[in-house]
């Protein structure tokens, strides 16, 4: 009777491969999540630019800005295209809504960006000033 050599992997070899793959995932996953959050921040910037553009058109038509986004044919608050941020409009500090505005984008609760501690809130004013809060501050822009 002829004996055939056994081929395949032993359980020990498979366990070593699983451990190596697990260690690689443990190292790579936080960096991957950080890059995803960074990419989602663009959603806030685009939403702020859209609302600012509509505010400027509104100013041209009516000689005033508005803090009611429904007057710009948007929901109030406006939820960004990808749904990660909500945008609100207020009068800027020391001014009235008639002559200046401050747009604020905050992460929507329950969405992945709510866990982003580096850039928690984005602001854009009618003068073009951009600011952000979080551990990265204005570097978010």
pLDDT tens track for 40-92: 999 999 999 999 999 999 999 999 999 999 999 999 899 999 999 999 999 98
Give the Cα separation of 16 and 18 in Å (integer): 5
Strand locations in 19-140 (E): 78-79, 85-91, 101-107, 121-125, 130-133
Structure tokens at 32: 């991957």
φ/ψ (deg, to 5) at 67 = -100, 0
Instruction: Give the count of beta carbons closer than 10 Å to the beta carbon of residue 93.
Output: 8
Looking only at the bridges linking them, the beta strands covering 85-91 and 121-125 are unpaired
Q: pLDDT: is 30 or 20 the higher one?
A: 20
**Predicted confidence (pLDDT) at residue 5 exceeds the cutoff of 80:** no
pLDDT classification of 1: cutoffs 50, 70, 90:
low
**Predicted confidence (pLDDT) at residue 97 exceeds the cutoff of 90:** no
Q: In what order do the strands lie in the sheet with 121-125?
A: 78-79, 85-91, 101-107, 121-125, 130-133
Element (H, E) at 27: helix 11-62
pTM above 0.85, yes or no: no
pLDDT for 56: 94
Residue 88: strand pairing partners? 104
CA angle at 139 for the pair 121 and 104, rounded to the nearest 5°: 25
């Amino acid at each position: 009777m002829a004996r055939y050599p056994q081929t395949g992997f032993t359980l020990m070899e498979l366990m070593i491969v699983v451990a190596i793959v697990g260690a690689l995932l443990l190292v790579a996953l936080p960096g991957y999540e950080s890059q995803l959050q960074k990419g989602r921040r663009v959603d806030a910037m685009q939403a702020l630019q859209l609302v600012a553009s509509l505010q400027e058109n509104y100013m041209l038509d009516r000689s005033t800005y508005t803090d009611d986004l429904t007057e710009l044919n948007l929901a109030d608050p406006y939820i960004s295209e990808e749904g990660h941020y909500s945008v609100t409009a207020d009068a800027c500090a020391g001014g009235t809504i008639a002559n200046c505005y401050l747009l604020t984008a905050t992460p929507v609760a329950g969405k992945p960006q709510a866990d982003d501690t580096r850039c928690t809130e984005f602001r854009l004013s009618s003068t073009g000033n951009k600011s952000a809060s979080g551990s990265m501050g204005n570097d978010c822009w």
